[in-house]
Structure formats: structure tokens, C-alpha cells
């Protein structure tokens, strides 16, 4: 029945763990709508025949017909219950799709005119070809480099808009090996129609062999792709132009290693430590998804969204016990560099053999919550420079 309804409604194949559930809700909504529309049509037809004008005399005017309160109240209650059922089922599916599993493999995605760039924790980078293991949860951390794009995989029933300067997450689990089309579902410029690619789901063993450098063509025959399609493995702001599906021979760096380099070059390690020791800013050790108390009394989870906000707008959510001295990195970090720093933080967030020491007293007290003005970047950098001279990074 599921396959019959899917074909009847011209829906694509169901290739993810949530696709069938979403389609079931789709069948339910469409079915109820069609039954309701048919009922309205039959009622209108019956009323048109039953109460038609039988002559042109004034005495033959159709009398006013009024339904009873029970009928009106019953129909209203039915519609309210129906919409509540729609909401409960849809909202539960929404929560499941928006909250990625904690064991999900992370891939960093950047949309730009007119391609999708994918970066893997092991060091590989691909363009327009997302390679994942089948039957494994995959979390995408996504952003845009220029305009609004929308990552859309119809076979997975996954669609996520991405805006420049912001980071979003979505996840999926491909239920079987295969190749599935990626589209951009938001008009993004002249070559919007050419901004598409493929998700290639491999068996677990084949995926590990691909990570080790075996060409993708050994596992799957890629369909013809857009002209800009490329696959490469080196990390950096720009990818070399390799033909689609052909990998660079050199061993790639991991994203965590690259993130360590970015953190050192951008001055992050002047305030943040990697070993759990307190410093000017919170340590990055064990920070990933940790409950973090803020200066305004709230407690927030240090997930991808919070960590990227703290880089771009550090005065928005100040951590309790630390001075508001961090300058903004908006425009100073490329999306790939932000992803590399996130992967570094994630990679060092394993349990420590001994608990980290409590934060030492502040070098200077924080501003009261009601007076959190923007910090002058020049003054903040001077403060960091003077403090870091007395502390070994």
C-alpha cells in the first residue's frame, strides 16, 4: 500500500530512516483532504438538487434551512481534533528531524554559488558529492558563503535553508547504499538550476576504503554531474580542481589538526586552552555539548550553534565568571575554518582522567548584566596581548 500511494502521488523513493514516516503523514493529510473535498462536493450537489427552484413563482422560493447547534458544534469539534492530531504527529516528526543523535558522524557543509562543499573530520573534502556510510547517522553542520541556499535531498525528505553568517544542523540516515540527488531549493542566482550534486551512500567497509584513498569510482558509477563538480582531499580555503570522483594522492590532514592551526594563527589559543586549565576564556577541553552557565543566569548547551555565535557575536551570551574581552571574528574566519575549530573542540571533548580545576579569579570583574556594551576591539586585543605575555599558551 505504501509503494502504491507513493507512486500515485509521484513521490520519490524512500531512502532514509524518516522518509516513510513523513510520507505516512502526507498520505493521511492528503487522504483526509480528499475525503473532505469529496464530501463537500457531494453535499453541494445534493443541496443543489434537493432545494432547486421548481418554478418561477414567488411561493416556490427555497425556505431558509438552519442546522442545529449540535451539528455545528460537532463539526467544529471534529475539525479542531483533526488539526490537533495533525499538529501532534507533525511536531513529533519535527523534533525527531531537528535533534541529531549524539552518535552521529559530523560533516561540515558550505553552500556557495553554485556548489556544495563537504569537509570530513578525517581530512577529506569533496565538492557536490557527499559520501557517507549507509545505515549510520550523519549530522550536517551547514552554512552559506554568499547568499541563501537550501540543501534538499528528496529521497531522504531532508531540506534545510542556509544563510550566510549563520550555522544550521540537520541529520539523516541512509537506509541502503546508493546514489541520491542533492538540489538547491532556494533561488540563488543565474546558475541556481546547476547547483546540484549527489549523496553517495556506501557500505561501511567501502566507506573506510574510500577514506583511505581508494577512488570513489571503484564503488559506484557516478551519474553526470554539473560542470563545477570536483572531489579532493586537501584541507584549506580553496580546493584544487580535480575531476569529479578522483581523489588527491597525498594523505589529508584531519580537520581537528587544521583547526588547531587555525586557532593558533587567529590568536584563539592566547585566551583558550586545550588541556582543561582555566585562562582568560573558557577552556575548550570537554566544552562540546556541555552545560554552560551564562552571566545572565541562563544555562545553555555548548552545541554547534552556540559555539559559532560565540565566535561571531561574543558579547551576546557571556559565560559566567569570565571578562567580556573577546573581539568578534565575523568576517575574519572562513566557514571552513569555523568548521575546523568546531571539529577541534569536539575531538578534545573526551572525559579527563582527573577533573579540571575550577576557574581562577578573573583578571578583571565582568560588567553587570544590564550594561553589556560592545567592547572596543582595539582595547580587547590590547588587554589579551598584555595578559598573554604572562601566560604560556
Helix pair 255-265, 335-347: axis angle to 10 deg? 110
Residue 32: asked if its preceding bond is cis (omega within 30°), the reply is no
Which pLDDT value is given to residue 234? 43
pLDDT of residue 352: 40
390 CB neighbour count, 10 Å cutoff: 7
Prediction pTM value: 0.64
Helix (H, G, I), strand (E, B) or coil at 128: coil
Residue pair 122/252 in contact by the 8 Å Cβ criterion: yes
Grid coordinates representing 134 are: 549507509
Spatial contact of 387 and 308, defined as CB atoms under 8 Å apart: no
Residues 170, 158 contacting (CB under 8 angstroms): yes
162 vs 4, 34, 143, CA distance in Å?
Answer: 34, 34, 5
Question: CA-CA-CA-CA torsion for 204, 207, 211, 214, nearest 10 degrees?
Answer: 130
pLDDT score recorded for residue 359: 39
**pLDDT tens for the 393 residues of the chain, in order:** 888 888 888 888 888 888 898 888 889 889 889 999 999 999 899 888 887 776 666 556 666 767 778 888 888 999 999 889 888 888 988 888 888 888 888 888 989 888 899 988 887 888 889 999 999 999 998 888 889 999 999 999 999 999 887 888 899 999 999 999 999 999 988 889 889 899 999 998 999 889 888 888 888 877 665 544 444 444 444 443 333 443 333 345 678 888 888 888 888 888 898 888 878 888 888 888 888 899 888 888 888 888 888 888 888 888 888 888 888 888 788 777 888 888 888 888 865 444 444 333 333 334 444 444 444 555 555 555 555 554 444
What is the rounded (10 degree) CA torsion for 70, 72, 76, 79?
100
Structural domains present in the chain: 2-50+68-98 (no CATH), 105-232 (2.60.40.420), 255-388 (1.10.760.10)
Predicted pLDDT at 382: 59
Q: Determine whether 319 is exposed, middle or buried from the number of CB atoms within 10 Å of its CB (0-12, 13-18, 19+).
A: buried
Amino acid at each position: 500500500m505504501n509503494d502504491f500511494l507513493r507512486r500515485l502521488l509521484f513521490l520519490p523513493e524512500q531512502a532514509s530512516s524518516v522518509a516513510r514516516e513523513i510520507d505516512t503523514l502526507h498520505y493521511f493529510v492528503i487522504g483526509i483532504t480528499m475525503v473532505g473535498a469529496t464530501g463537500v462536493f457531494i453535499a453541494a450537489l445534493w443541496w443543489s438538487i434537493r432545494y432547486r427552484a421548481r418554478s418561477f413563482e414567488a411561493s416556490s422560493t427555497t425556505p431558509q434551512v438552519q442546522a442545529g447547534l449540535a451539528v455545528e458544534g460537532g463539526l467544529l469539534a471534529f475539525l479542531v481534533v483533526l488539526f490537533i492530531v495533525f499538529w501532534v504527529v507533525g511536531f513529533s516528526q519535527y523534533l525527531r528531524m531537528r535533534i541529531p543523535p549524539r552518535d552521529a558522524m559530523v560533516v561540515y557543509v558550505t553552500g556557495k554559488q553554485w556548489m556544495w562543499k563537504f569537509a570530513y573530520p578525517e581530512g577529506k573534502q569533496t565538492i557536490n558529492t557527499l559520501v557517507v556510510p549507509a545505515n549510520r547517522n550523519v549530522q550536517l553542520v551547514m552554512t552559506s558563503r554568499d547568499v541563501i541556499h537550501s540543501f534538499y535531498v528528496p529521497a531522504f525528505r531532508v531540506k534545510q535553508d542556509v544563510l550566510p553568517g549563520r550555522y544550521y544542523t540537520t541529520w539523516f540516515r541512509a537506509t541502503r547504499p546508493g546514489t541520491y540527488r542533492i538540489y538547491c531549493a532556494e533561488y540563488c542566482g543565474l546558475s541556481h538550476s546547476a547547483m546540484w550534486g549527489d549523496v553517495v551512500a556506501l557500505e561501511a567497509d567501502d566507506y573506510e576504503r574510500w577514506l583511505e584513498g581508494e577512488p570513489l569510482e571503484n564503488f559506484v558509477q557516478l551519474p553526470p554531474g554539473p560542470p563545477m563538480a570536483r572531489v579532493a582531499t586537501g584541507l584549506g580555503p580553496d580546493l584544487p580542481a580535480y575531476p569529479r570522483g578522483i581523489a588527491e594522492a597525498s594523505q589529508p590532514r584531519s580537520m581537528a589538526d587544521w583547526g588547531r592551526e587555525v586557532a593558533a594563527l587567529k590568536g584563539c589559543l592566547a585566551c583558550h586552552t586545550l588541556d582543561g586549565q582555566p585562562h582568560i576564556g573558557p577552556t575548550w577541553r570537554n566544552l562540546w555539548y556541555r552545560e554552560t552557565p551564562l552571566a545572565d543566569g541562563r544555562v545553555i548547551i555548548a552545541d554547534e550553534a552556540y559555539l559559532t555565535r560565540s565566535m561571531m557575536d561574543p558579547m551576546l551570551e557571556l559565560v559566567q565568571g569570565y571578562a567580556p574581552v573577546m573581539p568578534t571574528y565575523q568576517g575574519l574566519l572562513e566557514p571552513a575554518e569555523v568548521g575546523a575549530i568546531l571539529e577541534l573542540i569536539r575531538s578534545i571533548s573526551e572525559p579527563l582522567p582527573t577533573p579540571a580545576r575550577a576557574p581562577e579569579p578573573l583578571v578583571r570583574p565582568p560588567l553587570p548584566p544590564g550594561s553589556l556594551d560592545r567592547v572596543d576591539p582595539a582595547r580587547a586585543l590590547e588587554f589579551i596581548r598584555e595578559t598573554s605575555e604572562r601566560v604560556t599558551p
